Amino acid sequence: MKRRTFLHAVAVMPAAYAHQPLSARERYRIDASVARSAMLDRIAQGGEFDAELARFELKAQLLREKHNVFLWDGPTTARGYRHPSWPQEA
């Protein structure tokens, strides 16, 4: 192997290992922040707050389904999982 090729390979290696793929939750957070800023821009331009909020909530739900990310929303999750320590419903 030529010295120049070897040095180039050594220089590129840390960059190749440093790049980690984003998790589904990180991709969801990025997409949700973009959707949030778009909602705030539309509201600042005179959009109706309730309509824009409903639009954002639908977009967030679609993003959660797209990235298969489900958030804890109280006693049950979107998948219906219940933690054993939570009180049973009557």
> Model confidence over 1-51: pLDDT tens digits?
566 666 666 566 555 555 678 888 888 889 988 998 999 999 999 989 889
Q: Answer yes or no: is 16 within a domain.
A: no
Residue predicted with more confidence, 31 or 82 = 31
Residue pair 68/23 in contact by the 8 Å Cβ criterion: no
- Distances, alpha carbon 63 to alpha carbons 6, 26, 70, 74, 79, in Å: 44, 12, 10, 20, 15
Is residue 41 in a domain? yes
Structural domain span for residue 38: 22-70
Predicted TM-score of the model (pTM)? 0.56
Q: Dihedral sign, CA of 27, 29, 32, 36?
A: negative
pLDDT tier at 74, thresholds 50, 70, 90: very low
Domains in the chain: how many in total?
Answer: 1
17 found inside a domain: no
For residues 73 and 29, give the distance between their C-alpha atoms in angstroms, rounded to a whole number: 16
